[in-house]
Structure 1
Amino acid sequence: MNLFILTGAGVSAESGLGVFRGTGAALWKRYDPMQLATPEAFMRDPALVHEFYNARRRNLIAAASNAAHIALARLEAGLAQRGDSMTLVTQNIDDLHERAGSKRVIHMHGELLKARCASCGAVRDCREELSTDSRCGCDGALRPHVVWFGETPLYMEEIYAALERADRFVAIGTSGAVYPAAGFVREARARGLRCCEVNLEPSENAAQFDERRYGRASEIVPSWVEEILAR
């Protein structure tokens, strides 16, 4: 078995991290992403952008992995023990998969606990708050190491190569609204893969999945993982 798993904000919501889309208190319903999450916004008002991401970083540092993260780490280890494999690609910018024990996570939208130089592109760990005075060794301005609107997601060649090797595609906690990730299920179906959606509620592209399970991630992900490991 070679699983390709895509996770989204729904995996981390029960850890107290706000989702960017969806119902309720979704962040992009309360804030204008064009003022906070574009290269142009950072050039126009870097202090405002830093203030927003500093708050997200503080929230993340105080959070903890939940049962869904832990179950996926257990799945990775269990598959490896029997000679199977798993690729975990996340749209999330948090590190809760890693804290739960996942060994290899591909962060296609970047990582909040890292900073990137806007000039030379160097990336470094960052748990402190950033400001307009935060500088790289080359004296370039530091920005959050996250993919903003209008920017290309990271590791796309690696992701598509992993999708070609997979024999099953699973999307967990995703909205099905953000591309290119929302198009992965279509790519998987074109390759003849069985596709499963595990989510709180149907995503925007739910009809493209062969199997669908709905409920709280902390409940349905562990039960789904146990089924996979029992096969």
Structure 2
Amino acid sequence: MTGPELAEAGRLLAAARRPVVFTGAGMSAESGVPTFRDAQIGLWQRYDPQELATPAAFRADPALVWGWYEARRRGVRRALPNPGHRAVAAIQARLTETVVITQNVDDLHERGGVPAPVRLHGSLFAPRCSACARPAPVPSDPPVPHDGPVPHDGPEPHAPEPHDGPLTPPACAGCGAPVRPGVVWFGEALPSAALDAAVEAASGCDLLLTVGTSALVHPAAEIPLVAARLGAPVVQVNPVPTPLDAICTVNMRGPAGEVLPALVRAAWPDADAG
């Protein structure tokens, strides 16, 4: 990728000292992780994700909701970080004050080299008690690689498994109530510590790079606006226009897995962009 947008974005990144990288579902979609807007498959075709992802749905049918989230989590474990994830890790390695904020609930940033992203919407890998909030163990899975090419001789990350379906959630070891997924459901507030950390980072950054987010889910979508209002340049990487276009200093159209490695190389020609 070449052009004036890449050159300008590379200049801004090279000059930054406290950047924020803000990622959304498009980042993980390039690794084969379905977004909420993608069609469901197998048993789950009958269900609207937005109706399953609510406290009311879990109260009404814990096994159905837990089974769906376990299917999603297993799909994520079959996915691998893409070059975009590795490029974000390269930015953080070069600029150690970089803060990575994500709306995604997978673990691809961690496996891609970012040890502690700020998670606005929680994690599929942090289940907790639905009553007392005690952390619960993650159900065991076969080991997965941390990096490397996406395999083509096995199931796609979102392919159904023979045991997909309702699954009784484990009981909390403390109080016996059902364990729930550690994600933010529709109608729930964002975790205050994560939201505070995100706002603080956006308020103090000297560049905000927004990647693969539709900017439609609030209040997370406000994070780039915080940086822009305080004068930080905003660089957007997205294949399609979003509501953030108007506030962005640079709009880079394309997939994160292509644009971000090119951006890292534009900023630092000697960098290993993954």
* TM-score strictly above 0.5: yes
Partner-residue secondary structure (3-state), 2:30: helix
The answer for the alignment partner of 1:100 in structure 2 is 112
- Mapped partners of 2:137, 2:239: distance in 1: 32
The answer for the alignment partner of 1:153 in structure 2 is 190
Q: Contact 1:4/1:166 (CA < 8 Å) preserved in 2?
A: yes
Q: Contact 2:64/2:167 (CA < 8 Å) preserved in 1?
A: no
2:21 maps to 1:5: yes
Corresponding residue pairs, total: 222
- Mapped partners of 1:133, 1:111: distance in 2: 16
Q: Contact 1:7/1:91 (CA < 8 Å) preserved in 2?
A: yes
CA RMSD of aligned residues (A): 1.9
Match of 2:132 among 95, 117, 120: 120
Displacement of 1:133 in angstroms is 4.7
Q: Contact 2:87/2:261 (CA < 8 Å) preserved in 1?
A: yes
Q: Contact 1:114/1:127 (CA < 8 Å) preserved in 2?
A: no
- Mapped partners of 2:137, 2:22: distance in 1: 24
The answer for the alignment partner of 2:13 in structure 1 is none
Higher relative contact order (CA 8 A, sep 6+): 2
- Mapped partners of 1:204, 1:125: distance in 2: 39
- Mapped partners of 1:160, 1:133: distance in 2: 34
Name the structure where strand makes up a greater proportion of residues.
Answer: 1
Look up the equivalent residue of 2:19 and give its one-letter code: L
- Mapped partners of 2:268, 2:19: distance in 1: 12
- Superposed, 1:59-208 pairs within 5 Å as 59-80=75-96, 85-128=97-140, 131-138=167-174, 139-154=176-191, 155-208=194-247
Displacement of 1:208 in angstroms is 2.0
Look up the equivalent residue of 1:68 and give its one-letter code: G
Displacement of 1:199 in angstroms is 1.0
Segments of 5+ residues of structure 2 without an aligned counterpart are 1-16, 142-165
The answer for the alignment partner of 2:3 in structure 1 is none
Q: Highest Rg: 1 or 2?
A: 2
Deviations 1:77-108 (A, max 9, x none): 1113xxxx200000000000100111221111
For the structure 1 residues 211 and 125, does the alpha-carbon distance in structure 2 shift closer, same or farther, using more than 3 Å as the test? Answer: farther
Q: Contact 1:72/1:102 (CA < 8 Å) preserved in 2?
A: yes
- Mapped partners of 2:268, 2:179: distance in 1: 43
- Mapped partners of 1:87, 1:136: distance in 2: 33
